[in-house]
Structure 1
């Protein structure tokens, strides 16, 4: 949260947040980025588009949860799922957080729909757009800061602030700092350099602190838009940053440091600490893409689908969860939607029994269909994630709400 600035030397010239990209050890950073890019592209190629669409929806909800958790204002994933169905809590604080979570999901979806190029996504216009898309959906009372000030969606701050020990640039100099960032970042990079640039832009744009409030959320939305060219929406660096929250804040703070002597680059800020931040960011991405690769390994997914059906048959004591459902579910997960008749045939059961199995899976959200008689595709309901995609979103399967 921003507070009125104290008497600290002012940042009012763009050279004061150089270097915007490291001039040293770029080969080392590229070597670290290369396997992340390769693994991310392999992962996208191995997922059916229909399953990818469901995973993207899950990742959006997950991003909303984790981004708000970083800010210390998260709400339980069950509350988010309810809010997406316009079911808001009677408790004002929970309802407010639900509205913020839904706004984040919708802002992310809107940014994705724009299909911004690398250059467009890295431009500061997309950061202002992310902030506007997030906060314009909220009522004025939900946009009010703790100091009682009204937050204007997508508008640069009009006063000077201090953020803990950091003194952001003066408000009058913000356009200059953003223009300098655009000169350096908004280019059609190759994917390895794009990952490095995304890391640098995430820090330096947060350092500028362009908005009165909501800078962290807007920067993470912006980074998500940039990283979509690498992630394909299948995984998110936000999950990794939230799960390493203390390290995330520490590296951001250290990258704020002034240059430490003649061997620490030529800019006003520390190049050594910017490189360390990039290494942390790339390592977080590596961890996330490797994790999702394990989650979507087809052989392991088959075993988890088998385990889910077995567990539900035991827990629910219903004849409509049968082992014959395992094969068609595996088929839908790996190869995409099929007709209801095909699903029934794949079970090998009699027509009437198979239809009951199909109806149960649809009722529980393990299968999804857009029409009452249309094709079915794989669903990822919250209460199945603990078995289907263990540890991806563990908070979602907790039976204890956070409020």
Structure 2
């Protein structure tokens, strides 16, 4: 029988700002790693989702003692748990990101779990179209500098009411919001239909020079599917202007290459996004992927 307490725990695990969600994020990340990759730099085994049980030092930063972690995690839930407007959610996400990193609840993987929590906290706003984590990954020096700056102690009586600098936190929030704004602008430019049309056209023309079964007649239906969503296989064939056999062959090739995907053997087709197409469809989305596939 499921108790009310168990129901509340399950609900908290689905609330991105909750520390239960943070713990589940850490568990999900580390459970996917091979055992040999769950070893810290000092040789200690990292248990997925386990709050640290000993005191640590992280460079010049000395996080709260392990014995006090339950109180700090409870305080995080009290401050960042309540629902709020989207403007305040953005600011709360930035503040929670630093505060969780400062508390350092795990022996290892704090940054990974915190960034995953921030990504999920903004999901209803971004709908997965953009993520602050891309921007953070592309400015690691500024990212860690801003975090460390927010770690600093109060700079006088007018610098907040707690032990940490309010001015440092404000500068971190400003940096984080700038990253979000930059990622929204980037994805807005990438998703503009005219630009997408040109890049899909370039992708198909390039591939047609390497594989004769990729035909330029695929460009129009691919652009249509990207902009307006799935279509039937018959509609795809009509849009190519090819004969039935040639259209069917082209469709099969695009499905095999994952430029089109379908849930069933005869169902509608929708736009796919294989890794080897990202470099041309979304330039500089993840340059590391382009390097791996080169």
Gaps of 5+ in 2: 1-9
**Matches of 1:244 and 1:166, distance apart in 2:** 21
Deviation per CA, 1:190-212, whole angstroms, max 9, x where unpaired? 10000000000000011001111
Residue in 2 that maps onto 1:245:
140
**Matches of 1:310 and 1:219, distance apart in 2:** 42
Q: Which of 206, 216, 238 is the equivalent residue of 1:323? A: 216
**Matches of 2:273 and 2:11, distance apart in 1:** 27
Going from structure 1 to structure 2, the CA distance change for 1:373 and 1:247 (only over 3 Å counts) comes to: same
* Preserved contact between residue 122 and residue 226 of structure 1 (Cα < 8 Å): yes
Residue in 2 that maps onto 1:367:
260
**Matches of 1:349 and 1:119, distance apart in 2:** 49
Deviation per CA, 1:24-62, whole angstroms, max 9, x where unpaired? xxxxxxxxxxxxxxxxxxxxxxxxxxxxxxxxxxxxxxx
* Preserved contact between residue 93 and residue 122 of structure 2 (Cα < 8 Å): yes
Q: Which of 91, 103, 109 is the equivalent residue of 1:214? A: 109
Superposition RMSD on alpha carbons, in Å? Answer: 2.0
* Preserved contact between residue 340 and residue 376 of structure 1 (Cα < 8 Å): yes
Task: For 1:11-160, list aligned pairs within 5 A.
Answer: 120-160=15-55
What is the SS of the residue equivalent to 1:121?
coil
Residue in 1 that maps onto 2:6:
none
**Matches of 2:47 and 2:286, distance apart in 1:** 32
- Give the deviation of 1:116 after TM superposition: 7.1
Matched, 1:337 2:230: yes
* Preserved contact between residue 12 and residue 18 of structure 2 (Cα < 8 Å): no
* Preserved contact between residue 135 and residue 143 of structure 1 (Cα < 8 Å): yes
Residue in 2 that maps onto 1:187:
82
Matched, 1:164 2:87: no
* Preserved contact between residue 27 and residue 49 of structure 2 (Cα < 8 Å): yes
**Matches of 2:87 and 2:30, distance apart in 1:** 32
Residue in 1 that maps onto 2:7:
none
* Preserved contact between residue 295 and residue 389 of structure 1 (Cα < 8 Å): yes
* Preserved contact between residue 12 and residue 21 of structure 2 (Cα < 8 Å): no
Matched, 1:288 2:183: yes
Q: Which has the higher contact order (CA 8 A, sep 6+)?
A: 1
What is the SS of the residue equivalent to 1:258?
coil
TM-score normalised by the chain length of structure 2: 0.91
Q: Which of 379, 384, 389 is the equivalent residue of 2:272? A: 379
**Matches of 1:327 and 1:247, distance apart in 2:** 42
Deviation per CA, 1:235-262, whole angstroms, max 9, x where unpaired? 1111100101000000000000001112
